[in-house]
Every structure is written in C-alpha cells, then in structure tokens.
C-alpha cells in the first residue's frame, strides 16, 4: 500500500526499536513509582511512545503489549503510523473504552496524566472504571515531560532541520522588510516558505511586531505597516517531522541612534552569554541568571519581563523552564531556547532568541540566522 505517512516527512522514519526503547525507559520509571500501568492521553506523548500522530487517542502502557484506542477517524492512520502497539477502535468515547477495559481486566491501579487530563475527564474515567474491582488511579504529573527532556538522535535530527528551515525562511524574507509593508504580510510570507521548505507549518502564530507593538512580548502580526525609525521583532518557528524550532530576531529600519544601538548591543551580549552557559549539568536557572546579570549591568533588568527560555521538541514549550530559581539541570541532548528581551512601553522591544542544543562539546545553536545584520537601511 503506497500510503505515505502523515506530515511532510523528509527525515528517515524512526525505527520501531526506538519506540521500544522509549517505552522501556518509561517502564523503568513506572516501576520506580510502583505502577504497572499508565494511561497516556496527551497526543505528543502518544506520538513519542508509539509514532501515532492523530489529534486524539488513549494509549495504555502495561506489562503486555501496549494498546492504543482511537476513534474510527483514525483507525487506518493508527495502523499505518504506530509501531509495536495493538490498535483498538472505539466508537463511543476513548475514556469510556479504557475505563471499561481496565475494569474487565481487573487492573488494580494505574497512572494517569493529571497534568493533562481535565477534572471532568478524570471524573469520567473514575466512574467508568468503578465496580467490584475498582481501579485506583494515580497522577504521574510531568513524568512523560521529564522523559522527553533529553532528546535522542532521531529527535535532534528533526529539530536541527526545523531550526535550519526557520533560519532560512527568515533570511529569504528579510529583503521584503521595509517601511510600508504590513506585519501580517511578512508573517504570511514566512509561514508560506515554512511549508514550501518541507515543514508542516508554523509551530505557533508568527509574531511580527513593529514599533510600539514590539513592547507586547506576545503581539500577533497585525495589519500595521512598518515605519522607518522603528524596531521590528520577528518570532517564528517551523515544525518539521513533528518537531519545533523557535527563533527571534529584531531589526531596525533606518539609522539607529546611539540609544537604540546600546539597547540592541546589551540584549545581544545577554543572549550570547546565556547561550554560552547552555552546558551539560548546568541548572536551568543559571542560564536565566547569566542573561539577567548582563541586562542588570546595563540597568535594563526591569524591562526583561519573562524568563530566559524553555525546552523545545514535540511541543513548542517544554520543560525545563529557564527561569529564576529553576534547579533542574540541563543534560547532553536537551534542547532549549535562549531568548532574553527588553520591552519599553510606547517605544518598542528587542528580543533575540535561538534554539540551542546541549551538545557533547557544549552549546550548539540550531537556528543559524545572522544577528549582526539587524540594521536595514
């Protein structure tokens, strides 16, 4: 059957043995928690553990072969995409099917993703699995997020390509950046090129924020036209092979005065220093400190209103958070963003961001677009 896998797959398929290994690592963690079963309902975690990339499913990991429930929309896709799991089709609600199955099997206790399931879903599962041998459900918090913190080579390959694509579309569009062009048209160009370049699309709504709108750290691209004498923030990231990259560049239209040059240079220094700190065994909070210290030296700390970064992979925001007091240590194979920024109400903002891999020889920037050519005359 010549059915291609979902997504625009330019990467080699991940072998079944890799999913097997991931499930083995999970089983070890579960054993440590004295759990024999885990219900996985968060789609990216299902993808991570089985290869199935539909928007809804319920995967039970246990002592026997894993079992994946999907609704009829996804039966064929699940059979094609998943590796090493048994597929069960459910027409009347996935949680209902899982609850009943657990009751029939007399599963004594099982973990569930309490950081993903809603209160209502948990109530439903409890009620469906109630009976003579009621299942005791136990929250596993962010167990799976923690499992995904260190990326394997298949994942790194995908993020690396996503990063290259992200940098490339930005550089392709840079010549269009001039006064009079609307923010939303630039965002459209960037996202269009992500898809043409083999990506599945943007990992989030592309930000193009010019002039005073740049002081909103999460402004959407609007119909505002760019003007000379203003800063413009571009925050973009492509998804490729299921994995995201995340990058921000700031440019100035025209001839920046000394104040703007100093501001840009301060953020650059903060970002460079923080990237350098992305090393194996470094607590995530120290990277945040590294950026903040530099900005404080320039009396800009109070304009840096968010944390320095976050993990990135199957999701655009993953653990760890690179924020104050975060003690989780980075590990070789972690991928994080480093994105200090300053936001001046009524004037604008400057943010510089890269996706950075903790490589065996130190930090490796995966979003290789220039930060030096920021003045557009």
For its own copies, the binding residue among 13, 16, 31, 123 (CB under 8 A) is 123
Give the three-state DSSP class for 286: helix
For its own copies, the binding residue among 224, 261, 269, 371 (CB under 8 A) is 224
**Residue 41, interface with its own copies (CB under 8 A)?**
no
**Residue 12, interface with its own copies (CB under 8 A)?**
no
Q: Which residue, chain included where needed, has tokens 């903060």? A: 270
Q: Which residue, chain included where needed, has tokens 């003045």? A: 375
**Residue 192, interface with its own copies (CB under 8 A)?**
yes
**Residue 191, interface with its own copies (CB under 8 A)?**
yes
**Residue 223, interface with its own copies (CB under 8 A)?**
yes
**Residue 130, interface with its own copies (CB under 8 A)?**
no
Least distance from its own copies to the Cβ atom of residue 319, Å: 14
Q: Which stretch binds its own copies (CB under 8 A): 15-23, 127-135, 146-154, 189-197?
A: 189-197
Contacts with its own copies in 258-317 (CB under 8 A)?
305-306
Among residues 33 and 373, whose Cβ is nearest to its own copies?
33
Among residues 26 and 240, whose Cβ is nearest to its own copies?
240
Q: Which helix (H) or strand (E) covers residue 274, if one does?
A: helix 258-276
Least distance from its own copies to the Cβ atom of residue 79, Å: 10
Quote the tokens at residue 115: 């950081």
Among residues 191 and 353, whose Cβ is nearest to its own copies?
191
Cis bond before residue 320 (omega within 30° of 0): yes
Q: Which stretch binds its own copies (CB under 8 A): 102-110, 160-168, 204-212, 262-270?
A: 204-212
Neighbouring residues of 224: CB distance < 8 A, sequence distance ≥ 6? 182, 183, 210, 211, 213
Quote the tokens at residue 208: 């193009």
CA-wise closest residue to 46 among 9, 7, 85, 12? 85
The Cα–Cα gap between 15 and 12 comes to: 9
**Residue 185, interface with its own copies (CB under 8 A)?**
yes
Site string for its own copies, 339-358 (x = CB under 8 A): ----x-xx------------
**Residue 44, interface with its own copies (CB under 8 A)?**
no
For its own copies, the binding residue among 117, 231, 267, 352 (CB under 8 A) is 117
Among residues 195 and 261, whose Cβ is nearest to its own copies?
195
Q: Which residue, chain included where needed, has tokens 């005065």? A: 257
**Residue 202, interface with its own copies (CB under 8 A)?**
yes
**Residue 180, interface with its own copies (CB under 8 A)?**
no
**Residue 74, interface with its own copies (CB under 8 A)?**
yes
CA-wise closest residue to 313 among 358, 370, 268? 358
Least distance from its own copies to the Cβ atom of residue 189, Å: 8
Among residues 211 and 311, whose Cβ is nearest to its own copies?
211
DSSP state of 12: P
Among residues 32 and 119, whose Cβ is nearest to its own copies?
119
**Around Cβ 49, how many Cβ atoms within 10 Å?**
27
Among residues 119 and 360, whose Cβ is nearest to its own copies?
119
Give the three-state DSSP class for 262: helix
Q: Which residue, chain included where needed, has tokens 């920037």? A: 365
How much is the CA Rg of the chain, to the nearest whole Å? 23
Cβ proximity of 177 and 223 under 8 Å: no
Q: What order do you get walking across the sheet with 86-89 strand by strand?
A: 86-89, 67-70, 58-61, 38-40, 109-112, 136-139
Neighbouring residues of 238: CB distance < 8 A, sequence distance ≥ 6? 162, 165, 166, 169, 194, 197, 199, 200, 201, 202, 203, 244, 245
The Cα–Cα gap between 93 and 73 comes to: 12
**Residue 188, interface with its own copies (CB under 8 A)?**
yes
Cβ proximity of 275 and 338 under 8 Å: yes
Neighbouring residues of 3: CB distance < 8 A, sequence distance ≥ 6? 76, 80
**Residue 108, interface with its own copies (CB under 8 A)?**
no
**Which chain residues interact with its own copies by CB under 8 A?**
1-10, 53-55, 71-77, 80, 112, 114-120, 122-123, 139, 141, 184-185, 187-189, 191-192, 195-196, 198, 200-202, 205, 211-213, 215-224, 305-306, 343, 345-346
């Amino acid at each position: 059957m010549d059915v291609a896998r979902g997504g625009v797959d330019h990467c080699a398929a991940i072998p079944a043995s890799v999913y097997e290994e991931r499930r083995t690592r999970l089983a070890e963690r579960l054993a440590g928690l004295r759990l024999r079963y885990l219900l996985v309902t968060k789609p990216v975690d299902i993808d991570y553990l089985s290869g199935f990339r539909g928007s809804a499913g319920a995967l039970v990991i246990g002592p026997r072969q894993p079992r994946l429930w999907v609704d009829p929309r996804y039966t064929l896709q699940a059979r094609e995409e998943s590796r090493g799991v048994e597929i069960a089709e459910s027409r009347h609600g996935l949680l209902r099917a899982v609850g009943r199955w657990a009751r029939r099997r007399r599963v004594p206790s099982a973990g569930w993703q309490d950081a993903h399931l809603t209160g209502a879903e948990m109530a439903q599962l409890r009620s469906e699995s109630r009976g003579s041998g009621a299942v005791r459900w136990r929250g596993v918090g962010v167990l799976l997020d923690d499992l995904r913190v260190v990326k394997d080579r298949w994942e790194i390959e995908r993020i690396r390509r996503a990063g290259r694509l992200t940098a490339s579309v930005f550089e392709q569009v840079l010549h269009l950046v001039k006064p009079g062009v609307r923010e939303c048209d630039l965002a459209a160009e960037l996202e269009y090129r992500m898809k043409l370049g083999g990506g599945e699309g943007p990992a989030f709504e592309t930000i193009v924020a010019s002039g005073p709108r740049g002081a909103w750290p999460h402004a959407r691209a609007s119909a505002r036209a760019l003007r000379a004498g203003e800063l413009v923030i571009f925050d973009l990231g492509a998804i490729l092979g299921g994995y995201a990259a995340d990058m921000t560049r700031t440019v100035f239209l025209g001839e920046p005065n000394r104040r703007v040059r100093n501001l840009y240079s301060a953020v650059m220094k903060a970002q460079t220093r923080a990237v350098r700190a992305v090393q194996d065994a470094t607590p995530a909070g120290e990277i945040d400190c590294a950026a903040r210290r530099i900005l404080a030296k320039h009396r800009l700390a109070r304009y840096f209103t968010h944390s320095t970064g976050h993990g990135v992979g199957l999701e655009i925001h993953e653990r760890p958070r690179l924020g104050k007091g975060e003690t989780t240590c980075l590990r070789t194979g972690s991928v994080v963003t480093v994105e200090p920024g300053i936001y001046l109400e009524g004037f604008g903002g400057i943010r510089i961001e890269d996706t950075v891999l903790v490589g065996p020889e130190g930090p490796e920037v995966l979003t290789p677009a220039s930060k030096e050519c920021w003045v557009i005359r």
